């Protein structure tokens, strides 16, 4: 679920871009250093970005709504650490906006903040916290949390932009959270399960 082009008022679009910018810059610096130290990693990162894009094009069985897809940010954060995942997530979002009209360019900052900044960091944090329960539970927790928190942040962004005339921010959060929960909650569970399936298959092979 990405915020579509033109959905946010201009002031919000700018504010979220400013909020996301330091993370993206930090990520780009990390990525440039890593690539300079190890030129081969450039191709690996390219492949990982391609994987994230393709993953986001997969349809999840039984989850309704055309705007639901896995984000891959939890898995990516575990594999590459959150700063690199912020850059790859940003690249993925740009391609989704330009190749699929999914998400927008003025709303890129807001989408980057929820999916490529908060998602990877929270997912990675949950992975670390649950790591001692075993790899697969930790992977589930990381992917589930990354997906869920992305959806929560997006709902909050929308609620800030369009507070309820009576209930204000809280009322709007309840509304946005409510309508998107139908697709996003099952999706978060799905992405967690899918990531576990993928990691389990990878580990046995």
Partner 1 sequence: MLAIDAAAYRSPWRRHHPAAKALLAGGLLGCALLLPPWPGAPVTAAVTLAVALCWARMPPRTLLRAARIPLGFVLTGALTFLVTVGPDGIGWADGGAGRAGEVVARCGAAVLCQVLFAGTTPLADALPRLTRLGLPAALVEVTALVYRLLFVVLDTARRTRQAQAGRLGDRSLRAAWRSLGGLGSAVFVRSFDRARRLEAGLAGRGYTGSLPVVVAEIPLRTPFLAAAPLPAVAAASVTFALGNLL
Partner 2 sequence: MSAVLSVHDVAYAYEGAPPVFTGLSLHVPPGRVLVLLGPNGAGKTTLLRLMTGGLRPLRGEIRLHGKPVSYSRRGLTELRTHVQLVLQDPDDQLFAADVAQDVSFGPRNLGLPVAEVRRRVAEALAAMQITELADRPTHLLSFGQRKRVAIAGALALRPQVLVLDEPAAGLDPAGVTALLETLEELRSAGTAIVASTHDVDLAHRWAQDAAVLAEGRLHTGPAAELLADESLLRSARLTPAWGPAVGRLLRRHGLLPPGAPDPRTPADLDRLTG
Rounded to a whole number of angstroms, the minimum distance from the CB of residue 16 to partner 1 is 14
Rounded to a whole number of angstroms, the minimum distance from the CB of residue 177 to partner 2 is 35
Rounded to a whole number of angstroms, the minimum distance from the CB of residue 22 to partner 1 is 16
Q: How many CA atoms lie within 13 A of 47 on its CB side?
A: 6
Residues 164-203 close enough to bind partner 2 by CB under 8 A: 201
Q: Which residues contact 84 (CB under 8 A, 6 or more apart)?
A: 27, 30, 31, 34, 45, 76
Query: Which residue's entry shows tokens 């740009």?
Result: 94
CA distances from 105 to 96, 108, 161, 198 (A): 10, 5, 17, 31
Stretch that binds partner 1, among 120-128, 132-140, 142-150, 170-178 (CB under 8 A): 170-178
Among 11, 66, 166, 204, binds partner 2 (CB under 8 A): 204
| Per-residue x/- track, 131-160, partner 1 (CB under 8 A) | ---------------------------x--
Rounded to a whole number of angstroms, the minimum distance from the CB of residue 197 to partner 2 is 11
Query: Is residue 49 within the footprint of partner 1 (CB under 8 A)?
Result: yes
Query: Is residue 57 within the footprint of partner 1 (CB under 8 A)?
Result: yes
Closer residue to partner 2 in complex, CB, 66/204: 204
Rounded to a whole number of angstroms, the minimum distance from the CB of residue 205 to partner 2 is 4
Q: 119 and 149 in contact (C-beta within 8 Å)?
A: yes
DSSP codes, 81-131: -HHHHHHHHHHHHHHHHHHH--S-STTHHHHIIIIIIIHHHHHHHHHHHHG
Query: Is residue 11 within the footprint of partner 2 (CB under 8 A)?
Result: no
Closer residue to partner 2 in complex, CB, 77/194: 194
Query: Is residue 62 within the footprint of partner 2 (CB under 8 A)?
Result: no
Question: Phi, psi (5° rounding) for residue 2?
Answer: -115, 145
Query: Is residue 77 within the footprint of partner 1 (CB under 8 A)?
Result: no
Query: Is residue 14 within the footprint of partner 1 (CB under 8 A)?
Result: no
Q: 1 and 158 in contact (C-beta within 8 Å)?
A: no
């Amino acid at each position: 679920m990405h915020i579509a082009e033109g959905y946010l008022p201009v002031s919000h679009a700018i504010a979220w871009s400013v909020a996301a910018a330091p993370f993206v810059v930090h990520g780009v610096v990390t990525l440039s250093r890593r690539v300079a130290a190890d030129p081969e990693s450039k191709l690996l990162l390219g492949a990982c970005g391609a994987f994230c894009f393709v993953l986001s094009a997969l349809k999840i069985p039984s989850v309704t709504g055309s705007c639901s897809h896995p984000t891959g940010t939890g898995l990516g954060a575990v594999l590459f650490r959150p700063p690199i995942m912020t850059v790859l997530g940003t690249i993925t979002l740009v391609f989704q906006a330009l190749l699929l009209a999914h998400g927008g360019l003025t709303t890129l900052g807001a989408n980057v903040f929820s999916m490529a900044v908060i998602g990877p960091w929270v997912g990675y944090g949950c992975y670390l916290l649950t790591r001692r329960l075993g790899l697969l539970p930790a992977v589930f927790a990381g992917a589930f949390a990354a997906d869920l928190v992305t959806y929560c942040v997006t709902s909050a962004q929308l609620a800030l932009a369009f507070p309820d005339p009576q209930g204000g921010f809280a009322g709007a959060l309840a509304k946005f959270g409510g309508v998107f929960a139908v697709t996003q909650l099952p999706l978060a569970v799905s992405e967690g399960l899918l990531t576990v399936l993928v990691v389990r298959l990878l580990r046995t092979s």
